[in-house]
A and B are shown apart, each in its own frame.
Chain A
Amino acid sequence: MVDDVFDEVGLKVEDLHASYGAVEVLRGLDFEVAAKGVSVILGANGAGKTTTLRAICNMCNTSGKVTLGDDDITRTGTAEIVRKGVAHVPQGRGTFPELSVLDNLMIGAYTRKDKEVKDDVDRWFEIFPRLSERSDQLAGSLSGGEQQMLAVARALMCRPRLLLLDEPSLGLAPLIIEDLFERFTTLNKETGLTMLVVEQNANLALDMADYGYVIESGEITLSGSAEKLKNDPAVQEAYLGA
């Protein structure tokens, strides 16, 4: 069961089940993400990492309870969950290939009605100059790394309080991954944005995270501080290649 280890809980998941047709992918997950912290879920292919994130956003058949801050969002529709401050960068980037880079950012701010959208676009263009150079180019023509930057920038355009990242390192060159994770860390430190990352790349993920969970066949088998997980023999063997 969940230990009350965090001062403030950003996201709380209780007894989360999810299934595709007759196949049950998540079999009762319990975990918490500390507010302003970075939590990571480690797991092999098919363990249920992606489904966990999809279930949080109510994008598949689920049962259980998901609480964002004090808000029960279990039965909230995906589009409404975004309005409550959850940004989700899905696996495979999830950019809009037929839209320009600029339009990708603009649609990221779809839920916002304030006047600072343009300022935010400029800000992200400053942080990712590559995107600025390709502002009018179609997102589909970007390289994998650029697309991942675009996906993250687009997700942050809605000014979320919780960012869900689904295997951000997938398919990227090691140097680009390092750069990307550094940016995530900076982002968390500078803005206090709560993050939940699912990853296979345990080394990088645990370096960035404060707290971690290991998921196997739809169940959480291990949890603890990032430091503790890094030194756990089982984790080392399975995910750190020790």
Chain B
Amino acid sequence: MTWNFDVLPDFIFNGLSLGAIYGTVALALVLIFKATTLINFATGELAMLGAFLVYVLHMEQGLWLWLSMLLAMLLSAGLGVLIERSLTRPFDPEDHLPVVLITLGLFLIINAVAGDIWNYQVRILTNPFGKFPDWVPSVGGDRFVEVLGSRLKYQSIGIWVTLAVALFVLGLILNKTRAGLAFRAVSSNVESARLVGVHTGRTLGFGWAIASAFGTLGAVLVAPQLGGVNPNMMATILIYALAGAALGGLDSLGGAVLGGILVGLIQAVLVTWGGVVVFGQLYMSILQLAAAFLIILIVLLFRPSGLFGTRRVERV
């Protein structure tokens, strides 16, 4: 057994940037869960569709990458609203099974439609953080900086900054706008929200919109790590995000982000780096997925509300 601490920072950086992406997708899950206590299994596929929108707008139509991302996020938001209105609102919100089945059905449909349009090959999508812009002074290379003797990729820094900005904007939306207040009210107590005149359906649609936009952001950020976009790109990401959301607490937005980051760290440091230490070789994907399920299992067993979730106490 050799403890190779020289490469450990590499794994930590990697874990933190993967984790930030899981956190972004976990946020998309938690935004909808908070308001409906429902896991939207189509989160990943909606995000994938958003990434393909960026692909079409940027790679095929030649629009500026960031404008394409913004447009794709807006379009995903619109699609989220549409799905809430047409597929979930007609159902009794108290009865979860039909709606969960609908999100599972959406998962399959979106995946199949994307597969039909774009087939299942990986298509390259420009990395928004491929190279440092020219105005950044070179401190190691044009794709990374040297930190602790390791290479901290521009991509990682870019992901963190993007997530930080996105979280800041989300905070503004939720805490400073009327719609955000209504959304928090619906998340806290649907019936009382109705009793102060909040249109709960529209407000849930608003939640779907933000969640879908966040999912798209996560998918675009993760695409370079997967070599590009393809219809199956989000399947495992969704599972890591779910593990992150469960770890952080399914009804805590901050918890989702931290949980996602923790899962990324566990995956990169404990499983990948530790795996190399213990077994002397990489058992990458299988062990990582298993670790994600193990996290979900342990959290559900010992702390069902997660690290930062609300513990439900029934008081009469």
Contacts and interface: CB of A to CB of B under 8 A. Distances in A.
Interface of A: 57, 59, 78-80, 82-83, 87-88, 90, 94-99, 103, 106-108, 110-111, 154-155, 157-158
Nearest to B181: A107
A155 B187 CA distance: 19
A107 B189 CA distance: 12
29 contacts: A59-B194, A78-B195, A79-B197, A79-B199, A79-B200, A80-B197, A90-B191, A90-B192, A94-B189, A94-B195, A95-B189, A95-B192, A96-B185, A96-B188, A96-B189, A98-B187, A98-B188, A99-B184, A99-B188, A106-B181, A107-B182, A107-B198, A108-B196, A110-B178, A110-B181, A110-B185, A111-B197, A154-B196, A158-B196
A82 B195 contact: yes
B184 A110 contact: no
A87, A90, A108, A110 pick with most chain B CB within 10 angstroms: A110
B195 A90 contact: yes
A95 B195 CA distance: 10
Q: Which 8 A-B pairs have the closest CB atoms?
A: A82-B197, A111-B197, A96-B188, A94-B192, A98-B188, A107-B185, A78-B194, A88-B195
Contacts of B194: 59, 78-79, 82
B198 A110 contact: yes
B145 interface: no
Interface residues of B, number: 19
Contacts, number: 68
B193 interface: yes
Nearest to A78: B194
B119 interface: no
Contacts of A111: 196-197
A90 B310 CA distance: 23
Contacts of B187: 98
A108 B181 CA distance: 11
Given A90-B191, A110-B178, A98 B196 contact: no
Nearest to A104: B185
Contact of B185 (A57, A99, A157, A158): A99
A97 B184 CA distance: 10
Contacts of B196: 82, 107-108, 110-111, 154-155, 157-158
Among A87, A98, A103, A108, the most chain B Cβ lie within 10 Å of the Cβ of A98
A148 to B, nearest CB: 13
A107 B187 CA distance: 13
A57 B195 CA distance: 8
Nearest to B316: A171
Given A79-B197, A83-B197, A99-B185, 9 more contacts: A79-B199, A80-B197, A82-B196, A94-B191, A96-B188, A107-B196, A110-B178, A110-B185, A158-B196
A41 to B, nearest CB: 18
A59 B188 CA distance: 18
Task: Choose among A99, A103, A107, A155 the residue with the greatest number of B CB atoms under 10 Å from its CB.
Answer: A107
Contacts of A110: 178, 181-182, 185, 196-198
B122 to A, nearest CB: 42
Nearest to A139: B188
A71 B194 CA distance: 20
A103 B32 CA distance: 21
A107 B181 CA distance: 7
A163 B303 CA distance: 41
A178 B196 CA distance: 26
Nearest to B201: A79
Contacts of B199: 79
Contacts of A57: 195
Interface string B218-250: 000000000000000000000000000000000
A151 B21 CA distance: 40
Contacts of B181: 103, 106-107, 110
Nearest to A57: B195
